[in-house]
Amino acid sequence: MTDRLILTLGILGGTGKEGSGLAYRWAKAGYHIIIGSRTLEKAQRAAQAVNERLGREVAAGMLNEDAARLCDIAVLTVPYSAHRATLEALKDKLQGKVLVDVTVPLKPPEVWVVNVPEAGSASMEAQQILGEGVQVVAAFQNISHEHLLDDHPVPCDVLVCGNSEAAREQVLQLAAAADLTGWDAGPLQNAVVAEGLTSVLIGINRRYKMRGAGIRITGEQQPPVD
């Protein structure tokens, strides 16, 4: 077990495949997990599935408001259709915390076409709704649940965008804990690129009969200059 502070992660709307995949990876890494839902029974079933897979009690299922209140870092994994309503309902519970927004503003039925919300991105919309008391970070939009729910190395990178460098660093640590390679992609305004890439990847999956297409950052990092 690592000697880092063990944090509690609240995965809001976490009963779907993406939320369950992130919950499994972080529980396996040693984090305490609260899976939140609008329905208590669904949250408890999702948490039980994680515990049974790992053979230990590391996840709990709660209503979204309790998960938001009790967590150290919140992670939002709801469909875009539920994005605003969920954030408005949890705004008070999230003050003073980091919120990792995984939401992609997909517009059915043509989910392979990039949709840009009026705010500029789903995560910028989240920041507008929650106010400056919450540090919103966009991440994990381009990682398929098919990778997260398996134990193989994930051949995809994570772009991390947020206005707080410290908050971005926390989310980069979460990416590493999930055995993913994360990259600091700058301020929250840049999240429109990460969110839009999901539609591009969905189109690639559809066109080429692929599963779980992702992105990799190439190049060689230079050593620091003395």
Structural domain spans, the chain: 8-208
The answer as to CATH 3.40.50.720 being correct for domain 8-208 is: yes
pLDDT in tens, the chain (226 residues): 334 467 999 999 999 999 999 999 999 999 999 999 999 999 999 999 999 999 999 999 999 999 999 999 999 999 999 999 999 999 999 999 999 999 999 999 999 999 999 999 999 999 999 999 999 999 999 999 889 988 888 989 999 999 999 999 999 999 999 999 999 999 999 999 999 999 999 999 999 999 899 999 999 878 777 6
Tens of pLDDT along 16-75? 999 999 999 999 999 999 999 999 999 999 999 999 999 999 999 999 999 999 999 999
Q: Is 133 exposed, middle or buried (0-12, 13-18, 19+ CB in 10 A)?
A: exposed
Give CA–CA dist 34/85, Å, rounded: 20
Closest C-alpha to 86, from 107, 108, 101? 101
What pTM does this model have?
Answer: 0.94
38 in the Ramachandran plot: left (φ > 0), alpha (ψ -120 to 50) or beta? alpha
